[in-house]
Amino acid sequence: MAGKRSSYNLLSVLPHVTPRDLQLIAMLDQHRVLTTDQVHRLLFQAERTCQLRLAELRDLALVERFRFHRPSGGTFPWHWTLGLNGHRFAAAAAGRAEPTPRAAAQAVARMSANPHLPHLLACNEFFVRLAAHARRSPAARLPRWWSEARATAEFQMVRPDGHGIWTVDERTVGFFLECDRNTEAQRRLVGKFAAYERLAATVGAHYPVLLWLSSPERERAVQTTLRREPPAVPVATATHDSDPAGPVWLPVHGTVRVGLHQMESSHGRASAANPNYRDGQLHLHGDTAYPWS
């Protein structure tokens, strides 16, 4: 079956591809892996419809999947990434060289064995929750969702786990995500703020840094540390069990939890070093037409 899928010609597949399929391919190209549940919340209304369409896309070699055994029994959810034709289409759209079948298969294998896979899924989950909220709320939009690689390439001076633009009732806030799974020392986590302070001083991109933390205990410890020497950029914390679109963010300089759209934010000055500006004009959207933008 795998050989049959990989032998499909990309052009013969395209008549079967919908705009929603193209959105999924674009997301997987940038964000690398999503679970079935995440794809459902991003793009579908009915879970069964999502499952059936993913199976069809796999038959067309546009996506591929893997999952793991649960120590307690059963399996974890399917994890979806690009298949051979998905890689071919994404490469053609971006002007990259077409991958070989071997290279595409190796990409899936590397993703399944990636020791940072839980962290990547957690980062994507943060944005999936924002996007899912925007699908339900006409007042909210997520016009930008940049991966770590994209954000690092664009801003250069910082390496966040993700970057986004969030709008509620016409108030637009940019932010950087630092997703913490309690796998690194607090001093290393706190040490990241120096780069954000340099970015703010250089191009004026004064965005809140969101620390999405693994537990309330971790949040209390990080808040205590940060309040001793508050960073020069806005910082707020919340935990993984919270909805990042809600009033769950506790600013280091405050005592009341607020919504993301209520935080201080500045998109900076027009300059060649600021990716928010193109040709002297402010642009706060991503390159991909996501369904919630």
Is residue 258 within 8 Å of 247, Cβ to Cβ? yes
Q: What is the predicted pLDDT for the residue at 289?
A: 52
Q: What is the predicted pLDDT for the residue at 187?
A: 81
Q: What is the predicted pLDDT for the residue at 64?
A: 97
Distance CA 176, CA 163 (A): 5
Q: Could you read off the pLDDT tens digit of each residue along the chain, which spans 293 residues?
A: 344 554 568 889 999 999 999 999 999 999 999 999 999 999 999 999 999 999 999 999 999 999 998 888 888 899 999 999 999 999 999 999 999 999 999 999 999 999 999 999 999 999 999 999 999 999 999 999 999 999 999 999 999 999 999 999 989 999 999 999 888 778 888 889 999 999 999 999 999 999 999 999 999 999 999 999 899 999 999 999 999 999 999 999 889 999 999 999 999 999 989 999 988 889 988 765 555 44
Q: Identify the sign of the CA torsion 115, 117, 122, 123.
A: positive
**Residue ranges per structural domain of the chain:** 2-114, 118-282
Give the domain 2-114 fold: Arc Repressor Mutant, subunit A (1.10.10)
Q: What is the predicted pLDDT for the residue at 1?
A: 37
Distance CA 142, CA 19 (A): 19
Q: What is the predicted pLDDT for the residue at 111?
A: 96
Within its chain, how far is the Cα of 65 from the centroid?
19
Residues 6+ apart with CB under 8 A from 102: none
Length of the chain: 293
**For the whole model, what pTM was predicted?**
0.93
Q: What is the predicted pLDDT for the residue at 170?
A: 86
